[in-house]
A and B are shown apart, each in its own frame.
Chain A
Amino acid sequence: MKRRRLIQMGATGLGATIAGVPLQLLAQAKPGGTINALVQPEPPSLMMGITQNGPVQLIAGNIYEGLLRYDEKLNPQPLLATSWVTSKDGLTTTFKLKPGVKWHDGKPFSAADVVFSVDVFLRKTHARLRASLEAVDSIKALDPLTVEFKLKYPFGPFMGLFEAGTMPMVPKHLYEGTDFLTNPANATPIGTGPLKFKEWVKGSYIQLVANTQYHQPGVPGIEAVYFHVIPDAAARAAAFESGKVDIAPGGAVEYFDVARLAKLPGVSVTTKGWEFFSPHSWLWLNNRKAPMNNLKFRQALMHAIDREAMAKVAWHGFAKPATGPFNSNIKYYSADTAKYPRDLVKAKKLLAESGYKGEPLRLLPLPYGESWQRQAEMVRQALGQIGVKVELQATDVAGWNQKLNDWDYDIAFTYVYQYGDPALGVSRNYTSTSIAKGSPFNNVEGYVNTRVDALFAAGARAIDPESRRKAYLEVQQILVDEVPVAWLHEINFPTLYRSKVKNPISSGIGLNDSLARASIS
């Protein structure tokens, strides 16, 4: 009732806005309507404090919230926290929380929930955040609406830690003193977000409905979202084409289908909403083994691979060649590095100097669909042209993980999220302290360079942006010279949607926290 009145008022009051969305826009949009989206694969659970894979974030990012949102330039925006102040030395940040926020079960949200979520719950369950929390000395509730974070040392990316997937707020009253992993409450997630969990029919769909008590007027703009589980990629494309599904998130349909479906009447496509994740692909080169331990061999590979053709053929244009270890979406990216254009003559010369004897090498493709398979074939062909013999190894996701966990590979495809800041998503792949078996996301190639270690450490701990920029510029130049891995592409995952869905993406994490802010015209 209240919402409707606000909207009517907005229609008459020119220029007024709610949360940056012009009220006239809200007034035009029907408050209500249902969005049908695809999710692939079916998530294991929706408790985002425990599981954070892609499908979980896509759905549960509407249920759970972090203290902040981030726009497409990754600037922090208020959400559960309305304002924040950082001390001069960069060691203390104090957040003011929004008053009157309620969990979906009606209990009030307060500073105690923040302290519990970060210091107790996520420290135990969230591997990625745990690494960043190393820098955090203490988290205190100064009063029910004020939280203070104290750091052990200045931590450059600190203000980038507060989105829902990185630091989701979980309800203290349901989890305190329980075994988090087996708590029955995990089956019925309770958050503060604009959509509430309604129903999950395993193997079929997950239904979320509007949280009418949401703390931001005018949101949610829709009544319900259904996430349909359709396991076959061609069937997902058919479901979108037939109009039964309104939104196909990035990766839900094969790229040759994206190009085709985007041309249908009433269909739009966008690559926005992945700025925070900045997916970046490369070939792991096992630096521990010959010939990959030879710089000239690695440089020869860089000159041999045809990144432009791969972007055009395998990605249908939804990727652009990467210039180095940093994705151009993340902070302190620089293009001022050595270049490796495709040059077979130079590649052959470098290969001859490297002393490669023609021994066959194993290439491990990524088992995530057609685009990756085609890229593997193109890499094999390109390397064959300069005389490097490559055998493709067939594998599934579990086998791929296992081989990288055990360093049992020669050359392997991967792509990694960079989380907006080099200290969060880049340094882990190149610093010698991140060499450890058992994870496919750390320094899997086994590259060791003390100067690189020092520069990444300096970049992470500096407070002023200028000294961070300097450290990161030098580290990019060193890495691109030394080619510890062969960078391939910045991937732009395309989101397909019916044009009747207005404003489906309004943040740097895209659909994950935007769907409730969309409307249907």
Chain B
Amino acid sequence: MKRLQFLLTRVAQGLLALLLIATVNFMLVHAAPGDPVSVMAGEAGASDAQFVAQLRHEFGLDQPLSTQLGRYLSHVAQLDLGFSYRQQQPVVKLIVDRLPATLLLTATAFGLSLLFGVGLGALASRKAGSWLDSAITVVALVFYATPLYWLAMMAVLVFTVKLDWLPGFGYSSVGAGLHGWALVLDVAQHLLMPALTLALFYMAVYARMTRAAMLEVAQMDFIKTARAKGVSPGRIQRHHVLRNALLPVVTLAGIQAGGMIGGAVLTETVFAWPGIGRLMFDALLQRDYNLLLGCFLVTAAMAVLFNLLTDLVYTLVDPRIELS
């Protein structure tokens, strides 16, 4: 009962937040210089007043801004994200088309970074002070500090251009006509570099965080008690230390997961991965208002959703935490 009430309150708060976000986004996007018509006219290499007026009218940009905002919000309330005039398709369709590619990339990166990050962190804390600990810390620090863009470009230069081991761009081999397992393998090959590149930063963060938290927990009295009771060291590490050290990791994982849709712009750009991040970035440059706002809204909704999920996961990791 208490849990249900908590959920309902949070969902209501989330919806209110989304409404505010949609409004602010709308104002911000329209405050940027230029509009989709000026971009399209500019690209055409020629334009005249008739061309511009015709497009503005068709896109509804000749209406007062308040009217446009009202119309946009009422459409959003009906789960209608509008129409991308530039691409001549409904925004929802454009986003849904790109969603699988982005989720595949970000979920793989999420899994990899969590698995290896926590694993390496736990290993380092267990061997604290050893050469292995130092090695893990140094590597984590390097990945933490290296710009993603540079790392991605270097990966392409080494593994695609020089060694020719992995494909450097795209989602699968174009025109190969693969099916079944051959296709899965092909996509996996294309996925490897972008997913690893995207995973490295968070992997480094998780590793450092897990190591620090585990070392801290290991000093606590209840660990001594467990040891005194004769619990095996491995079990203490897994059940007593790691579990209690996971809370900060969960917090950060919630943030990473919330950014799963919109957080891979750079990686998608360098590896020409046909995901939402690129859709959003192109929409920004082209002032494709509806599409841009749609991407922002979906991204914001993901963030709100994963915030809520994170709070729920807290109670699982640490039953002492109550929802209220």
Residues from chain B with a CB closer than 8 A to the CB of A90 are none
Cα–Cα, bound, A34→B175 (Å): 10
Q: Which residue of A lies closest to B160 (CB)?
A: A242
Flag if B41 contacts A52 (CB, 8 Å).
no
Flag if B174 contacts A234 (CB, 8 Å).
no
Residues from chain A with a CB closer than 8 A to the CB of B51 are 127, 130
Partner of B44, one of A128, A181, A402: A128
In the complex with contacts A230-B272, A238-B160, A203-B42 CB distance below 8 A: no
| Mask of A217-258 contacts with B, CB within 8 angstroms, 1/0 | 000000010101111101100110110100000000000000
Flag if A235 contacts B153 (CB, 8 Å).
yes
Flag if B48 contacts A204 (CB, 8 Å).
no
Tell me how many residues of B have a C-beta within 8 Å of chain A: 53
In the complex with contacts A239-B169, A399-B33, A207-B175 CB distance below 8 A: yes
Flag if B34 contacts A228 (CB, 8 Å).
no
In the complex with contacts A130-B50, A235-B271, A242-B161, A202-B45 CB distance below 8 A: no
Q: Which positions 428-449 of chain A face chain B at CB distance < 8 Å?
A: 436, 438-441
Q: Which positions 83-106 of chain B face chain A at CB distance < 8 Å?
A: 86-88, 94, 97-98, 101
Closest Cβ–Cβ distance, residue A246 to chain B (whole Å)? 13
In the complex with contacts A45-B87, A228-B170, A438-B49, A52-B44 CB distance below 8 A: yes
B108 in the interface (beta carbon within 8 A): no
In the complex with contacts A181-B58, A398-B39, A403-B33, A52-B45 CB distance below 8 A: yes
Flag if B270 contacts A398 (CB, 8 Å).
no
B61 in the interface (beta carbon within 8 A): no
Residues from chain A with a CB closer than 8 A to the CB of B42 are 397-398, 400-401, 440
Cα–Cα, bound, A323→B174 (Å): 46
Flag if B33 contacts A238 (CB, 8 Å).
no
Closest Cβ–Cβ distance, residue A436 to chain B (whole Å)? 6
Cα–Cα, bound, A417→B43 (Å): 12
Segment at the interface with A among B136-144, B249-257, B277-285 = B277-285
Q: Which residue of A lies closest to B164 (CB)?
A: A242
A182 in the interface (beta carbon within 8 A): yes
Flag if B87 contacts A398 (CB, 8 Å).
no
Closest Cβ–Cβ distance, residue A440 to chain B (whole Å)? 6
The size bracket of the interface on A is 35 or more
In the complex with contacts A186-B88, A228-B169, A235-B272, A398-B44 CB distance below 8 A: no
Closest Cβ–Cβ distance, residue A90 to chain B (whole Å)? 25
Flag if B88 contacts A45 (CB, 8 Å).
yes
Q: Which residue of B lies closest to A396 (CB)?
A: B285
Residues from chain B with a CB closer than 8 A to the CB of A207 are 174-175
A-B contact count (CB 8 A): 161
Partner of B161, one of A44, A53, A238, A438: A238
Residues from chain A with a CB closer than 8 A to the CB of B287 are 398
| Mask of B152-163 contacts with A, CB within 8 angstroms, 1/0 | 010011001100
Residues from chain A with a CB closer than 8 A to the CB of B174 are 36, 204-205, 207, 226, 228
Residues from chain A with a CB closer than 8 A to the CB of B286 are 44, 397-398
Q: Which residue of A lies closest to B167 (CB)?
A: A244
Residues from chain B with a CB closer than 8 A to the CB of A405 are 38
Most buried by B among A34, A128, A235: A235
Cα–Cα, bound, A205→B98 (Å): 14
Residues from chain B with a CB closer than 8 A to the CB of A399 are 32-34
A317 in the interface (beta carbon within 8 A): no
Residues from chain B with a CB closer than 8 A to the CB of A44 are 40, 86-88, 286
Flag if B170 contacts A232 (CB, 8 Å).
no
Flag if B45 contacts A204 (CB, 8 Å).
no
Flag if B88 contacts A128 (CB, 8 Å).
no
Residues from chain B with a CB closer than 8 A to the CB of A201 are 274
B52 in the interface (beta carbon within 8 A): yes
Cα–Cα, bound, A206→B174 (Å): 10
Cα–Cα, bound, A235→B197 (Å): 15
Flag if B272 contacts A398 (CB, 8 Å).
no
In the complex with contacts A230-B272, A397-B285, A239-B168 CB distance below 8 A: yes
In the complex with contacts A204-B272, A403-B33, A230-B169 CB distance below 8 A: yes
Cα–Cα, bound, A149→B270 (Å): 50
Q: Which residue of A lies closest to B52 (CB)?
A: A438
Residues from chain A with a CB closer than 8 A to the CB of B153 are 234-235, 238
Partner of A398, one of B35, B47, B48, B169: B35
Q: Which positions 13-51 of chain B face chain A at CB distance < 8 Å?
A: 32-35, 38-51
Flag if A439 contacts B285 (CB, 8 Å).
no
Residues from chain B with a CB closer than 8 A to the CB of A187 are 88
A427 in the interface (beta carbon within 8 A): no
Closest Cβ–Cβ distance, residue A498 to chain B (whole Å)? 15
In the complex with contacts A204-B272, A401-B42, A231-B86 CB distance below 8 A: no
Q: Which residue of A lies closest to B162 (CB)?
A: A242
A92 in the interface (beta carbon within 8 A): no
In the complex with contacts A41-B282, A203-B279, A232-B272, A402-B34 CB distance below 8 A: yes
Cα–Cα, bound, A128→B97 (Å): 34
Residues from chain A with a CB closer than 8 A to the CB of B121 are none
Flag if B39 contacts A238 (CB, 8 Å).
no
Q: Which positions 262-292 of chain B face chain A at CB distance < 8 Å?
A: 269-272, 274-275, 278-279, 281-282, 285-287
B206 in the interface (beta carbon within 8 A): no
| Mask of A17-44 contacts with B, CB within 8 angstroms, 1/0 | 0000000000000000010100001101
Most buried by B among A128, A187, A439: A439
Flag if B278 contacts A231 (CB, 8 Å).
yes
| Mask of A156-199 contacts with B, CB within 8 angstroms, 1/0 | 00000000000000000000000001100011000000000000
A355 in the interface (beta carbon within 8 A): no
Closest Cβ–Cβ distance, residue A170 to chain B (whole Å)? 16
Partner of A235, one of B32, B97, B101, B168: B168
Cα–Cα, bound, A235→B156 (Å): 8
A144 in the interface (beta carbon within 8 A): no
Residues from chain B with a CB closer than 8 A to the CB of A42 are 282
Residues from chain A with a CB closer than 8 A to the CB of B170 are 204-205, 228
Flag if B269 contacts A231 (CB, 8 Å).
yes
B306 in the interface (beta carbon within 8 A): no
A1 in the interface (beta carbon within 8 A): no
Cα–Cα, bound, A120→B169 (Å): 42
Flag if A417 contacts B32 (CB, 8 Å).
no
A14 in the interface (beta carbon within 8 A): no
A residues at B contact (CB < 8 Å): 34, 36, 41-42, 44-45, 51-54, 127-128, 130-131, 181-182, 186-187, 201-205, 207, 224, 226, 228-232, 234-235, 238-239, 241-242, 244, 395-403, 405, 416-417, 436, 438-441
Residue contacts A-B, CB under 8 angstroms, 30 given: A41-B282, A44-B40, A44-B86, A45-B87, A53-B44, A54-B43, A54-B45, A202-B98, A204-B171, A204-B174, A204-B274, A224-B175, A226-B174, A231-B272, A231-B278, A235-B153, A235-B271, A238-B160, A244-B167, A244-B168, A396-B34, A399-B34, A400-B42, A401-B34, A401-B38, A402-B33, A402-B35, A436-B48, A438-B41, A439-B52
List 5 additional A-B contacts (Cβ < 8 Å) besides A34-B175, A244-B168.
A44-B86, A230-B272, A398-B287, A441-B45, A441-B46
B residues at A contact (CB < 8 Å): 32-35, 38-52, 58, 86-88, 94, 97-98, 101, 153, 156-157, 160-161, 164, 167-171, 174-175, 269-272, 274-275, 278-279, 281-282, 285-287
Closest 3 CB pairs of A and B: A398-B34, A203-B274, A128-B46
